[in-house]
Amino acid sequence: MTITDTLAKSRGDLENKLRNLLAKPVFLIELDAFALPCGCKGVTINARGIQYDDIEIFEEHVNKYLKETSEDLEVEPSFLFARLVPGTAEVASLNSRILCNRCYMDFARGTGKMPRPDIYILNFTRRE
Ligand SMILES: [Zn+2]
Protein backbone atom coordinates (compact mmCIF):
# COMPACT_ATOMS: atom_id res chain seq x y z
CA MET A 1 0.00 0.00 0.00
CA THR A 2 1.09 3.57 -0.61
CA ILE A 3 1.44 5.90 2.36
CA THR A 4 -1.77 7.70 1.40
CA ASP A 5 -3.71 4.42 1.16
CA THR A 6 -2.40 3.48 4.60
CA LEU A 7 -3.47 6.85 6.02
CA ALA A 8 -6.91 6.49 4.43
CA LYS A 9 -7.41 2.99 5.79
CA SER A 10 -6.28 3.98 9.29
CA ARG A 11 -8.59 6.99 9.31
CA GLY A 12 -11.60 4.86 8.37
CA ASP A 13 -10.77 2.05 10.78
CA LEU A 14 -10.34 4.38 13.75
CA GLU A 15 -13.49 6.32 12.89
CA ASN A 16 -15.54 3.10 12.86
CA LYS A 17 -14.08 1.94 16.15
CA LEU A 18 -14.81 5.26 17.84
CA ARG A 19 -18.37 5.38 16.44
CA ASN A 20 -19.04 1.91 17.82
CA LEU A 21 -17.45 2.74 21.16
CA LEU A 22 -19.16 6.07 21.72
CA ALA A 23 -22.40 5.16 19.91
CA LYS A 24 -22.68 8.54 18.24
CA PRO A 25 -21.56 10.23 15.05
CA VAL A 26 -17.85 10.80 15.31
CA PHE A 27 -16.07 12.29 12.31
CA LEU A 28 -12.35 12.06 11.83
CA ILE A 29 -12.12 14.86 9.32
CA GLU A 30 -8.41 14.58 8.57
CA LEU A 31 -5.53 12.30 9.42
CA ASP A 32 -2.09 13.78 8.82
CA ALA A 33 1.42 12.50 9.25
CA PHE A 34 3.84 15.27 10.22
CA ALA A 35 7.48 16.10 10.88
CA LEU A 36 8.44 19.26 12.77
CA PRO A 37 11.68 21.28 12.54
CA CYS A 38 12.48 20.46 16.20
CA GLY A 39 12.57 16.73 15.38
CA CYS A 40 9.13 15.71 16.63
CA LYS A 41 7.14 13.55 14.25
CA GLY A 42 3.91 11.60 14.26
CA VAL A 43 0.27 11.70 13.31
CA THR A 44 -2.55 14.11 14.04
CA ILE A 45 -6.16 13.04 13.66
CA ASN A 46 -8.57 15.96 13.57
CA ALA A 47 -11.93 15.05 15.02
CA ARG A 48 -15.50 16.29 15.33
CA GLY A 49 -18.06 14.90 17.74
CA ILE A 50 -15.79 13.79 20.58
CA GLN A 51 -16.05 15.43 24.00
CA TYR A 52 -13.66 15.53 26.92
CA ASP A 53 -16.03 13.26 28.89
CA ASP A 54 -15.87 10.60 26.15
CA ILE A 55 -12.10 10.47 26.45
CA GLU A 56 -12.17 10.40 30.23
CA ILE A 57 -14.87 7.72 30.54
CA PHE A 58 -13.57 5.51 27.72
CA GLU A 59 -9.90 6.32 28.18
CA GLU A 60 -8.80 2.69 28.21
CA HIS A 61 -10.48 1.97 24.86
CA VAL A 62 -9.52 5.23 23.19
CA ASN A 63 -5.94 4.65 24.30
CA LYS A 64 -6.00 1.12 22.85
CA TYR A 65 -7.51 2.21 19.53
CA LEU A 66 -5.12 5.12 19.14
CA LYS A 67 -2.22 2.79 19.93
CA GLU A 68 -3.39 0.38 17.23
CA THR A 69 -3.76 3.19 14.68
CA SER A 70 -0.33 4.48 15.59
CA GLU A 71 1.22 1.04 15.17
CA ASP A 72 -0.55 0.55 11.82
CA LEU A 73 1.15 3.76 10.69
CA GLU A 74 4.51 2.63 12.06
CA VAL A 75 4.58 5.47 14.59
CA GLU A 76 5.85 4.27 17.96
CA PRO A 77 2.89 4.92 20.34
CA SER A 78 5.00 6.39 23.13
CA PHE A 79 3.14 9.68 23.52
CA LEU A 80 -0.59 9.68 22.87
CA PHE A 81 -2.78 12.64 23.69
CA ALA A 82 -5.99 14.46 22.90
CA ARG A 83 -5.95 18.17 22.19
CA LEU A 84 -8.99 20.19 23.26
CA VAL A 85 -10.40 23.28 21.62
CA PRO A 86 -9.16 25.86 24.16
CA GLY A 87 -11.77 26.81 26.72
CA THR A 88 -14.20 24.09 25.64
CA ALA A 89 -14.84 20.38 26.27
CA GLU A 90 -14.53 19.64 22.54
CA VAL A 91 -11.75 17.31 21.42
CA ALA A 92 -10.03 18.92 18.43
CA SER A 93 -7.62 16.10 17.68
CA LEU A 94 -6.11 12.81 18.74
CA ASN A 95 -2.35 12.64 18.42
CA SER A 96 0.54 10.21 18.47
CA ARG A 97 3.88 11.94 18.62
CA ILE A 98 7.44 10.73 18.75
CA LEU A 99 8.96 13.53 20.79
CA CYS A 100 12.35 15.08 20.02
CA ASN A 101 14.66 15.23 23.04
CA ARG A 102 13.86 18.83 23.88
CA CYS A 103 10.09 18.44 23.70
CA TYR A 104 10.41 15.17 25.62
CA MET A 105 12.12 17.04 28.46
CA ASP A 106 9.40 19.69 28.43
CA PHE A 107 6.66 17.09 28.77
CA ALA A 108 8.61 14.89 31.18
CA ARG A 109 8.81 17.84 33.58
CA GLY A 110 5.06 18.39 33.43
CA THR A 111 2.83 16.56 35.85
CA GLY A 112 -0.53 14.89 35.64
CA LYS A 113 -2.83 14.10 32.79
CA MET A 114 -3.20 17.72 31.75
CA PRO A 115 0.15 19.52 31.81
CA ARG A 116 -1.50 22.22 29.73
CA PRO A 117 -5.22 23.08 29.74
CA ASP A 118 -5.62 21.98 26.11
CA ILE A 119 -3.76 18.67 26.38
CA TYR A 120 -5.11 15.44 27.84
CA ILE A 121 -2.43 12.76 27.99
CA LEU A 122 -3.51 9.20 27.23
CA ASN A 123 -0.06 7.65 27.31
CA PHE A 124 3.40 8.98 28.07
CA THR A 125 6.18 6.43 28.07
CA ARG A 126 9.13 7.62 30.08
CA ARG A 127 12.61 7.07 28.68
CA GLU A 128 15.32 5.45 30.78
ZN1 LIG B 1 10.02 18.57 19.36
**Residue 100 predicted with pLDDT over 80:** yes
Q: What is the pLDDT of residues 72-94, one digit of tens each?
A: 999 999 999 999 999 999 999 99
Q: What separation in Å is there between the alpha carbon of 37 and the centre of ligand 1?
A: 8
Distance CA 33, CA 95 (A): 10
Q: How far apart are CA 60 and CA 101, in angstroms?
A: 27
Distance 47 CA to ligand 1 centre (A): 23
Q: How far is the CA of 39 from the centre of ligand 1 (A)?
A: 5
Which range of residues forms the domain containing residue 86?
3-124
The whole-number pLDDT of residue 128 equals 83
Which residues are placed with Cβ below 5 angstroms of ligand 1, an ion? 38, 40, 100, 103
pLDDT digits (tens, 9 = 90+) for 46-78: 999 999 999 999 999 999 999 999 999 999 999
Q: What is the pTM of this model?
A: 0.94
Residue 22 Cα to ligand 1 middle (Å) = 32
Q: Total structural domains in the chain?
A: 1
Q: For 64-88, b where at least 16 C-beta lie within 10 A, e where not — what string?
A: bbbbebbeebebebbbbbbbbeeee
